[in-house]
Amino acid sequence: MRKQRLVMVGNGMAGMKTIEEILKHAPDVFDITVFGAEPHGNYNRILLSPVLAGEMTLADIMLNDLDWYSANGITLHAGRKVVEVDRVRRVVRSEDGTEEGYDRLLLATGSNPFIPPVPGRELEGVIAYRDIADTETMIEAACNYRHAVVIGGGLLGLEAANGLILRGMEVTVVHLGEWIMERQLDRPAAEMLQASLEAKGMRFRLGAQTEALLPAADDPAGRVAAVRLAGGETIAADLVVMSAGIRPNTALAESARLHCDRGIVVTDTMQTVTDPRIYAVGECVSHRGVAYGLVAPLFDQARVCANHLAGFGIGRYEGSVTSTKLKVTGVDVFSAGDFMGAEDCDNIVLHDRAGGRYKKLVLKDDRLIGAVMVGDTSDGSWYFQLVREGRNIAAMRDQLMFGQSFAQSQLGDAGHQGQNQAALLPDSAEVCGCNGVCKGTIVKAIKEKGLFSLDEVRKHTKASSSCGSCTGLVEQILASTVGGAYQAVDKHAKPVCGCTDHTHAEVRAAIREHKLLSIPAVMKALDWKTPNGCATCRPALNYYLVSTWPHEAEDDPQSRFINERAHANIQKDGTYSVVPRMWGGLTTPAELRAIADAAEKYQVPTVKVTGGQRIDLLGVKKDDLPAIWADLGKAGMVSGHAYGKSLRTVKTCVGAEHCRFGTQHSMRTGVNLEKMLFGMWSPHKVKLAVSGCPRNCAESGIKDVGVIGVDSGFEIYVAGNGGIKTEVAQFLCKVATEEDVKEMTGAFLQLYREEGFYLERTCHYVERVGLDYVKRLVVEDADSRRELHERLLYALKDAPDPWAEQQVQPLARHYKTIQIHDLSGESSHGMAESVSA
């Protein structure tokens, strides 16, 4: 079958990122042709400033040299500017007459520098600062001239000024605004940065308008010699660098009659709204009325665009929250989100002029919405993550100003401590102990290979690719090295694993929309990179399949961990822990006798009462598992699923059945809930509790679902967690009857089952989607609640019946003896679970 023809106009970072993603996911779909106006391959424009400063060369910042295009079968027309797109014939033509036909066209024409319409702008020595040619012109000027003026005190202008100072020039920055970098900094932060730059020799004229660029008196048509400001002041200038902003380059699109409005207008799939055969990415694009100029959002666009060009049709670009991180002459600067804040926001400010540190955090409704810092920016990545995720920070508000390490240590979460050490580490310091990678190796790879994301650093250095404990530190090194190009990935937007670039949400959506019923079908449809997946993605795919299509999807035993296949928890010595279910924590003499008999018969070394009101038999040999479950089954006992991503326990107090303080029958309610939910697979383990009165003896306040009896009914709480970091459950609603409790609980858990990501606890799911969203679907909308509850009951209808009077060997029918291969890599003869609900 003939390959489709893909033509890309523009050879910059956003466009080539799209091509790289297409080659990664669908290398055989397109014959690719690229037109670039510059006579080079694709280079890292963010690193033009180090080139100007003499720290790097063009070769150092090259991302894809000319040989790379040939090696990947790409036709590159370098140094050829496209001047026409014929949408009827589907042909593009360059100014030298070269024509190429297309089936799909990708416009990545970038932006043009804005040159203020001041007299004298045509003089020699007046340039913009956008590409390597401009950089080389500035380097040459610095060798022959002394005075430079940079018009524009934004991020790029300051970097240009810094590079020219390092080249030996005297530099004055002329800026129309009241303070420098007003798009990235508030006034106090800008003033602190300005003071630091002035101490290094940079001069400023703020609130100043350029009136004219003047030549030498004896050479009126020659080189620029001075800049005249409104008001009459004249500044000597042998070189004038225009850095007054950029404008999307839409000339080609407009000539092709594509709709443009402050950029080429595109949809969430990066298709132009005028012609679905034509896509656009990068600085030339207007998405939902916004044009982005930072690399991170442009790379987000590239990934979505590649997804659709490759034919997957899943990704959507919904806009980006951006951050800026840079270093100007040794001064670190960071900003993200709405750092100015409105009247209804709270500002937390640290302003230490003597110490050269400024930090401002903007809060609204217990969420961080913006941050700006000068001096110490080591926590910038963490603050940016909080802004992007919209996480509730009420619990850490008092510690928030002191940074991630302190705030999380106060909350008992040490999982990411140490991230702030990056700036202090020498290049010889070992960052990744698993793979023996030092800081210098990581920094060198980032600079030489043009890396922008954590996944790319992992691929090229192995750092953070094993146990993951150094991930935060690696991210910090990455952020400090590439500055504004750092792609701080939202944890919910991360791929399922290295076998795919699709997120959990995209995989779930594909399974639902295309009715995929098996793991091979999912991998084929989503172009999995590995033929059989891995121990991370296979269990996730298996769960998404059986939870989406409970009676149609293939439940793959080989995609369940050994614990689930053996109905027992493997212990550190290779033996197993067997936990029979005790409904609601209740038991009988017959069950206790069966447990004691089994413990003696199979020489179980340890018998322990668990925190979930059950009895654990620890130290069972793997070969004895089928027989011990058969013996327990004769007494009517089934698995407590203490190993699974499923319902674990329903803890109860004695309630109104026995307690003089009890207001509701907690034991009966707990038992009925547990039997209703028996056999329920879920994204992560689920624990419930029912307390008969507000004294809450069953600890309902830290469970995934907690029920507390009150005089007039029951209060229901959700999204609690008693794990490493305790999360207090949030109030969902109050109901009158036990049947209401069952319906409300079932609806909430089904919503979690359908929308939660694999290995995402209920507390993290609710944090992600918001409690108001849950209440709307589970509490306020009666039809939605009923439908959710019915879907749960439908999914569980073939689960082993816990009410059956005769359950001889109830778990034996779930076992078959086969040769299995554990996901841990251990091949053994043992137990595998057959298809179940």
- Give the pLDDT confidence score for residue 496 in this predicted structure: 86
Cα separation, 155 vs 269, in Å, equals 30
Whole-angstrom distance, CA of residue 154 vs CA of residue 114: 13
pLDDT digits (tens, 9 = 90+) for 677-723: 998 999 999 999 999 999 999 999 999 999 999 999 999 999 998 87
Q: Please report the pLDDT score of residue 589 as a whole number.
A: 94
**Nearest Cα residue to 49 out of 669, 577, 483:** 483
The angle at the Cα of 246, spanning 240 to 247, to the nearest 5 degrees, equals 135
Percentage above 90 pLDDT, the chain: 58
Burial group, residue 821, by CB count within 10 angstroms (0-12, 13-18, 19+): exposed
Q: What is the mean pLDDT of residues 812-837?
A: 32
For every residue of 747-798, DSSP letters joined together read HHHHHHHHHPPTT--HHHHHHHH-HHHHHIIIII-HHHHHHHHHHHHHHTTT
The residue-averaged pLDDT of 106-120 equals 94
Helix, strand, or coil (residue 284): coil
pLDDT tens digits for 313-344?
777 898 887 777 666 666 788 888 888 888 88
pLDDT for 227 beyond 90: yes
Name the helix (H) or strand (E) containing 372: strand 367-374
Task: State yes or no: pLDDT of 836 exceeds 80.
Answer: no
**Structure tokens that stand for 157 in this block:** 């202008």
Given this model, what pLDDT does residue 826 score?
A: 34
Is the CB of residue 95 less than 8 Å from the CB of residue 81?
Answer: yes
What pLDDT score does 822 carry?
35
- Residue 287 main-chain phi, psi, to 5 deg: -115, 120
Q: Give me the mean pLDDT over the 795-822 stretch.
A: 44
Q: Dump pLDDT digits (tens) for 421-476.
A: 566 677 887 777 656 788 889 988 988 887 877 878 887 888 876 545 567 778 87
Length of the chain: 837
Residue 436's CB: how many other CB atoms inside 10 A? 11
Q: How confident is the model at residue 832 (pLDDT cuts 50, 70, 90)?
A: very low
Annotated binding residues for siroheme, written as ranges, equal 697
pLDDT tops 80 at residue 111: yes
Phi and psi for 46 in degrees, rounded to 5?
-65, -25
pLDDT in tens, 353-408: 888 889 999 999 999 999 999 888 878 878 887 888 888 888 888 888 888 766 65
Amino acid at 423: A
Task: Cite the DSSP H helix spans in 411-536.
Answer: 439-449, 454-461, 471-482, 504-513, 519-525
With contact defined as beta carbons under 8 Å apart, do 719 and 728 qualify? no
At 815 the pLDDT is 36
d(CA 444, CA 463): 13
- Number of other residues whose CB lies within 10 A of the CB of residue 357: 16
Segments of 55-103 assigned E as strands:
62-64, 75-78, 82-86, 91-94, 99-101
Residue 807 has pLDDT above 50, yes or no: no
pLDDT for res 459: 79
Q: What is the mean pLDDT of the chain?
A: 86
Integer Cα distance of 309 and 502 in angstroms: 15
Q: Which residues contact 475 (CB under 8 A, 6 or more apart)?
A: 381, 419, 454, 488
Q: What does the pLDDT average to over 785-810?
A: 68
Provide the whole-model pTM.
0.60
Identify the pLDDT of residue 422: 65
Q: Which residues are annotated as a binding site?
A: 653, 659, 693, 697
DSSP 611: T
pLDDT digits (tens, 9 = 90+) for 525-561: 998 988 888 888 999 999 999 999 998 998 888 887 7
Give the DSSP H/E element, type plus range, for residue 71.
Answer: helix 66-71
Cα–Cα distance for residue pair 691/714, rounded to 1 Å = 9
Q: CA of 643: how far to CAs of 256, 522, 527, in Å? A: 61, 26, 32
3-state SS, one letter per residue, for 512-525: HHCCCCCHHHHHHH
Q: What is the mean pLDDT of residues 81-103?
A: 96
**Cα gap 124→38, rounded to integer Å:** 21
Question: HSE of 191 in the Cβ direction (CA atoms, 13 Å)?
Answer: 7
More confident residue, 300 or 1: 300
Residues β-bridged to residue 286: 265
Decide: residue 558, CB within 10 A, 0-12 exposed, 13-18 middle, 19+ buried. middle
The pLDDT of residue 491 = 56
**Phi (first) and psi of residue 250, to 5 degrees:** -110, 5
Beta-carbon count within 10 A of 467 CB = 11
| Per-residue b or e along 101-129, where b marks 16 or more CB atoms closer than 10 Å to that residue's CB | ebebbbbbbbbbbebeebebbebebbbbb
| Rg from Cα positions in the chain | 32
What is the per-residue pLDDT for 431?
Answer: 78
Any idea what DSSP says for residue 491?
Answer: G
Residue 778 pLDDT > 60: yes
- pLDDT surpassing 70 at residue 420: no
* Identity of residue 445: A
CA atoms of 761 and 685, how far apart (whole Å): 7
Burial status of residue 289 (CB atoms within 10 A of its CB: 0-12, 13-18, 19 or more): exposed
Please report the pLDDT score of residue 208 as a whole number. Answer: 94
723 vs 484, which has greater pLDDT? 723
Under 8 Å between Cβ of 380 and 371 = yes
Backbone torsion region of residue 163, taken as left when φ is above 0, otherwise alpha when ψ lies between -120 and 50, otherwise beta: alpha
Mean pLDDT check: name the lowest of 64-78, 306-320, 360-374, 657-671: 306-320
**Domains of the chain by start residue, with CATH:** 4-111+248-309 (3.50.50.60), 126-244 (3.50.50.60), 323-417 (3.30.390.30), 420-493 (1.10.10.1100), 504-559 (no CATH), 560-638+804-837 (3.90.480.10), 647-795 (3.30.413.10)
CA separation for the pair 808, 308 (Å, rounded): 53
pLDDT tens digits along 250-303: 999 999 999 999 999 999 999 999 999 999 999 999 999 999 988 878 988 999
Q: Answer whether residue 410 shows pLDDT above 70.
A: no
Q: Say if CB 462 and CB 430 are below 8 A apart.
A: no
What is the sign, positive or negative, of the torsion defined by CA atoms of 445, 450, 454, 459? Answer: negative
Q: What are phi and psi of 508, to 5 degrees?
A: -60, -45
Q: Largest alpha-carbon pair distance within the chain?
A: 111
Is residue 509 predicted with pLDDT exceeding 70? yes
Average pLDDT over residues 797-821: 40
Half-sphere exposure (Cβ direction) of 625: Cα atoms closer than 13 Å:
31
Q: At what angle do helices 471-482 and 454-461 cross, to 10 degrees?
A: 110
Q: Which pLDDT band holds residue 739 (cuts at 50, 70, 90)?
A: very high
Distance of alpha carbon 714 from alpha carbon 133, whole angstroms:
72
Residue 641, sorted as left (phi over 0), alpha (psi -120 to 50) or beta, turns out to be left
The pLDDT, as a whole number, for residue 818 is 28
**Structure confidence at residue 358 (pLDDT):** 92
Rounded mean pLDDT of 208-214?
A: 95
Contact 540, 504 (CB under 8 A): yes
The pLDDT of residue 202 = 93
Task: Look at the block and give the residue holding tokens 């003071």.
Answer: 195
Of 454-458, 734-738, 765-769, the poorest mean pLDDT is in 454-458
CA distance 279 to 107: 6
Collapsing DSSP to helix, strand or coil, 392 comes out as strand
Task: Write out the binding residues for [4Fe-4S] cluster.
Answer: 653, 659, 693, 697
